[in-house]
Amino acid sequence: WRPETFDRVLVDVPCTGLGALRRRPEARWRRRPEDLDGFAPLQRGLLHEALRSVRVGGVVGYATCSPHLAETRAVVADVLDEWDGVELLDAPALLPEVPLTGEGPDLQLWPHVHGTDAMYLALLRRTA
């Protein structure tokens, strides 16, 4: 597809899967700290491509089933630092029916609070 083609894009990035340990407890023994090193560049690259693919005014949803900051807020912060004309939307304000999502404009779900996997969502809008 061509750049600036879409109004909305959801990027559900590959990740360590640490947020799904309640369903796959054996996964905790398959992951190593250095696994993060391989995922973050891929996640940043996919988020960059998603932002290139939306029109000005378009929104990208960045989602992952990892609660690890290196796969969530750090990726989003790095990409925002590299892009002019992108703003982070207030995801909890757009989803008021989801309680206790944490502080900040992104949304973090937790197994012990929400009865789900530990899911993360950030919404980014192209402004230029």
| Residues annotated as catalytic (active site), given as ranges | 65
10, 59 in Cβ contact below 8 A?
A: no
71, 64 in Cβ contact below 8 A?
A: yes
